[in-house]
Amino acid sequence: MSVHEAITKHSTGQHLHLVRFAELEEQREQAIEACVDLCRQGLPFSVDAINAATAEIIAHAKQGISPLRSYVTEDMVRDYVNKG
């Protein structure tokens, strides 16, 4: 394999890794919005979907260059809603 091919393969791998991160991040953001909406309405909500996406992001980050995300608690959602 030539140097050019090796660099291309590496760059493509990084790109695909970041594309998958963006997909997971979008899932997490949608789950956060759903919780925030329910909380604003005074309805029960669960952060399980947020934290499932977070766990996937963390596992994915171990394989490449994407950033990590923190787990979310119900209190964090309530605090966010109450401040906004």
Cα separation, 5 vs 18, in Å, equals 20
Tell me what the pLDDT averaged over the chain comes to.
Answer: 94
Predicted pLDDT of residue 35: 98
Instruction: Give the residue ranges of DSSP H helices in the chain.
Output: 3-40, 48-61, 74-83
Higher pLDDT, 10 or 75: 75
| 4: pLDDT strictly greater than 80 | no
Residue 53 domain boundaries:
3-83
Predicted pLDDT of residue 31: 98
| 13: pLDDT strictly greater than 90 | no
Number of domains in the chain: 1
33's tokens: 């919005």
